[in-house]
Amino acid sequence: MTLEADLACLSGLSLFRDLPPSRLKLVALMGERLRFPAGSVIVSDQERLQGVYVILQGDVEFSQQREDGGGRRFHKEAGSIIGDVSLLSGKRFLGKVTAGTDVLALRIPKDLFFELLQTVPEFSLAVSRDLAERVARLANALLLAGEEA
């Protein structure tokens, strides 16, 4: 992808839509573009992440194994961010992320991610909204599971 294509792709994602153009360009220039063939591991279980991954193209699968042999799988599409919770909490990543299709991702280094959170209110708000939406979906799923039990 060219810089222009990266900028167009990022500006179409909800996390980056309201970023000032100069900051968006900084993210595109400082982010590391990574390609993952279908089936390859993007993030391993218990990994200490040094950045977040923004899925620009393709689909990924998040899987988590429990000690009793069970587990859960979730699919994420282009526009998803991976690793933000790990970085924000300071904890290791719980689960494994595998490329479901060929994936193009932008790895935003940890320092840049925190700089954006601290200096760009639009980015902080977008990350907060994304986290809140995920918590709401999780709460709804737990409530539904409780009703079925």
- Give residue-wise pLDDT tens across range 89-107: 999 888 899 999 999 999 9
Domain boundary assignment for the chain:
3-110+117-141
Task: Answer yes or no: is pLDDT of 1 > 90.
Answer: no
Centroid of chain to Cα 44 = 14
The DSSP secondary structure of 127-139, one letter per residue, reads HHHHHHHHHHHHH
Give the pLDDT score at 69: 62
- Give residue-wise pLDDT tens across range 70-89: 667 777 777 788 899 899 99
Task: Answer yes or no: is pLDDT of 145 > 80.
Answer: no
Task: Answer yes or no: is pLDDT of 8 > 90.
Answer: no
Give the pLDDT score at 130: 86
Cβ neighbours, 10 Å, residue 99: 21
- Give residue-wise pLDDT tens across range 130-143: 889 888 988 887 77
CATH of 3-110+117-141, one of 3.30.70.2190, 2.60.120.10, 3.40.50.620, 3.10.580.10: 2.60.120.10
Task: Answer yes or no: is pLDDT of 118 > 80.
Answer: yes
- Give residue-wise pLDDT tens across range 26-70: 888 888 999 999 999 999 888 889 999 999 889 999 887 766 666
Residue 10, exposed/middle/buried by CB under 10 A (0-12, 13-18, 19+)? Answer: buried
In terms of pTM, does the model score above 0.85?
no
Residues β-bridged to residue 41: 98
**Average of pLDDT values for 116-139?**
88
More confident residue, 93 or 145: 93
